[in-house]
Structure 1
Amino acid sequence: MDTSKCLLLFFLTTLLLLPTSTTASPNITAIFAFGDSILDPGNNNRLSTIFRSDHPPYGIDFPGRIPSGRFSDGKLATDFLVSQLGIKELLPAYLDPALTDRDLLTGASFASAGTGLDDLTASEANVLTLNAQLRNFMQALQRMRSIEGQQEVDRVVENALFMVAAGTNDMLYNFYGLPLRRTYSLSGYQDLLLQNLENVIRILHSTGARRVAVVGLPPIGCMPVSVTLGSLMPSFHMLQRVCVDQQNSDSQVYNAKLKALTSRLQATLPGSRVVYVDVYTPIMDMVISPAAFGLEKTIEGCCGLGSVEMGPLCNALAPKCPDPSKYLFWDAAHPTQSTYLFLANKFRQEFLPSLLV
């Protein structure tokens, strides 16, 4: 048999031995983020609000030890994701004046710390509503089209990952805290939030978004600020630092509704993948079994006394723990960089594949 026939036989044999199906590759062009502080890399630096973190000791573990405006000692989960996916090193804030039109082609965050799915939450905090964030995204689309044209921008958007995370501030401040929305029942207020969220996802879909990851509520009752306030309320656990079980139960009810909503939207929005991202379970796992995650403190923050310090109260004069990586929370409401890294890895392993089908 001559050489050409041998090569042909080898080629055909190889084709027959190849698997009949292949795993989708993460061909993600960009990440666009919307929501609150867990996705805000510094948009609030440009706003007149107390919900800012562009001061020490925020950023002590960020490259250059810069307080970038991220509510963390370092990076956010979205920073780790864009890096792990080979898109770019960090996900920038849309309102950063250094952001170029070309930077937008690989993504940006439009999120604003302190906001919620309820516009009242944002207005009370003087931060960007979700609708304002969407308007900024529309503006970003125009900026991208000005340098690359409609067809290329459509391709970028269709293959981008959209992340939405909001709702915690609505419950924490408007329902449990002040409370400005107690005219609603718990179930009624949750339904209002979810209706607003559905509108956001539908608007994103209308712009061409096809991969949408929606982050559920964390165990709000285990956030240090909730634990502190709970310890001051008359109850069996008064003056004890324990999670507020009712608030955690409320989060679980909301998350069950959210999961049902994402399934319904995926079934009704053509060509879409809308995925519920569970952060409740991994965070509760950390609270229950800290040693398994290399943690020592899970319901106290690293900054200050770890009870109520965040934003302006977490400042250069406040004491801080020697090793933030041993803490689940950096301040009274926001995770440490090490927690964000764990959540980013969890997302990439458990939820990202569903968005790439």
Structure 2
Amino acid sequence: MRDVIISILLFMIICGFGFEGVSSKPQVPCYFIFGDSLSDNGNNNGLISTAKVNYSPYGVDFPAGIPTGRFSNGRTAVDIIAQKLGFKRYIPPFKEAMKSLHKFKGVNYASGGAGILPETGRLLGGRVCLNQQMKNHKIIISKLAFKNGGKAMAVLNKCLYTMNIGNNDYINNYFMPEDYISSHLYTPRQYAALLIRHYSHQLKILYQNGARKVALFGLGLIGCTPAEIAIHGATNGSACVDNINAAVLIFNDKLISLVDKLNARHTDANFTYINNAGMQLTTSQGFKVFNSSCCKVRSDGLCQAASSPCKNRSEYVFWDSFHPTEAVNAITGRRAYLKEESSDAHPMDISHLVKVQ
């Protein structure tokens, strides 16, 4: 009986029951989320993969303290954005959304370990790469079109789409030269160009399938994660791995250029860039620990199962050796929705993006 109750609670939490203090009507009819572990909310749970976190202490600060598959102690940045948009429930993962199309509000396709390139993250086992996420999206919109006829495309045009992907193309590909050949074939600038070409193709497909309001998250400074520092060692005179951060910033610059090109090419759509790397975290925001994880980690940088995490979680930047705490996600989500500095978003933040007619 206890197992049944826990299963019901987990289903309710994954589907997002329990937002409080939000408007009665969301600002967009639906929200589609693509990405990696920074956005995954359970898509990896059923996969044979080391990149899944449906165990404690993950989710310790999520409603009811039940792990849902989110790579954090609590909410992710896209959970925060969904709440800001006025959704009363968290956007469900793909398989859950397939079961509830009659009350459709969007889909989260994101997958831990996923990358822009299909081969990225293969050593982790199962994951849903961006190519497959796009195929899953086509399945959803095909069913919506069947249910709603010609009205479906008009609705899809008004929805919000966010993509936060590319981190693993560096962490679990380019900067693993013993397992992947990419760093032997390409300079950092060439590799960033390769990623952008693939990304651009997927965004073209997304546009063809009705996306008109798209926010693309730039990569964070992954050279400052505890895992990368432990593997590569901090650069002399720096607290981070500078060559990794330099490669990431090349990608981000090219992504900004892609956003400008897409806006020039598709005058009936709006694309925007969210500047993850530029959102500085300081002690004035309450953070005290910047370079170590809140939970006890395994050799792969994820939390040890059933371990006791730190108690002052809001003071930590990192939850495990790769992923931010809910405190950081709250800042990222808030500033992506409504920018606090002009550099947070280009050319507009999400609050303005969703209002564009």
Distance 2:309 2:299 in 1: 12
- Per-residue CA deviation, residues 36-77 of structure 1 (Å, 9 max, x unaligned), is 111110000121111001001000011111110000001111
The TM-score normalised by the length of structure 1 is: 0.84
User: Equivalent residues in 2 for 1:330-341 (5 A)?
Assistant: 330-341=319-330
Change (3 A) 1:305 1:127: closer
- Per-residue CA deviation, residues 250-286 of structure 1 (Å, 9 max, x unaligned), is 222211111001110111024111111101011xx21
1:142 positional shift: 2.5
1:314 positional shift: 3.0
Corresponding residue SS for 1:298: strand
Distance 1:163 1:85 in 2: 13
Corresponding residue SS for 1:172: helix
Corresponding residue SS for 2:82: helix
Structure 1 residues without counterparts, runs of 5 or longer = 1-24
User: Equivalent residues in 2 for 1:157-172 (5 A)?
Assistant: 157-172=156-171
Partner of 1:269: 266
Partner of 2:133: 133
8 Å contact 2:98–2:140 — kept in the other structure? Answer: no
1:244 positional shift: 1.1
User: Equivalent residues in 2 for 1:121-200 (5 A)?
Assistant: 121-125=120-124, 126-147=126-147, 149-179=148-178, 180=180, 181-182=182-183, 183-200=185-202
Q: What letter matches 2:286 in structure 1?
A: G
Equivalent residue for 1:327, pick from 280, 300, 316 = 316
Distance 1:320 1:161 in 2: 35
8 Å contact 1:46–1:95 — kept in the other structure? Answer: no
Distance 1:199 1:95 in 2: 25
Equivalent residue for 2:305, pick from 315, 336, 344 = 315
Equivalent residue for 2:204, pick from 194, 202, 205 = 202
Corresponding residue SS for 1:52: coil
1:98 positional shift: 7.9
Equivalent residue for 1:301, pick from 293, 306, 320 = 293
Partner of 1:54: 54
Distance 2:304 2:102 in 1: 35
Larger Rg: 1
Distance 2:186 2:94 in 1: 34
Change (3 A) 1:98 1:254: closer
Distance 1:81 1:236 in 2: 37
1:307 positional shift: 8.8
Partner of 2:106: 107
Partner of 2:343: none
Corresponding residue SS for 1:218: coil
Please state if 1:251 is matched with 2:241.
no
Corresponding residue SS for 1:44: coil
1:292 positional shift: 1.1
Partner of 1:352: 350
The TM-score normalised by the length of structure 2 is: 0.84
8 Å contact 1:28–1:85 — kept in the other structure? Answer: yes
Residue identity over aligned pairs, in percent, reads: 29
- Per-residue CA deviation, residues 205-263 of structure 1 (Å, 9 max, x unaligned), is 001100111111100111111121133x8x647xxx92112211222221111100111
Distance 2:292 2:298 in 1: 5
8 Å contact 1:164–1:213 — kept in the other structure? Answer: yes
Distance 1:222 1:84 in 2: 28
Partner of 2:239: 242
Distance 1:215 1:109 in 2: 15
Displaced runs of 4+ in structure 1, greater than 6 A?
none
Q: What letter matches 2:231 in structure 1?
A: L
8 Å contact 1:300–1:307 — kept in the other structure? Answer: no
Q: What letter matches 1:63 in structure 2?
A: P
Corresponding residue SS for 2:38: helix
Partner of 1:8: none
- Per-residue CA deviation, residues 5-58 of structure 1 (Å, 9 max, x unaligned), is xxxxxxxxxxxxxxxxxxxx9831111011111111000012111100100100
1:308 positional shift: 5.5
Aligned-residue Cα RMSD (Å) equals 2.2
8 Å contact 1:80–1:90 — kept in the other structure? Answer: no
Change (3 A) 1:244 1:354: same
Q: What letter matches 1:156 in structure 2?
A: V
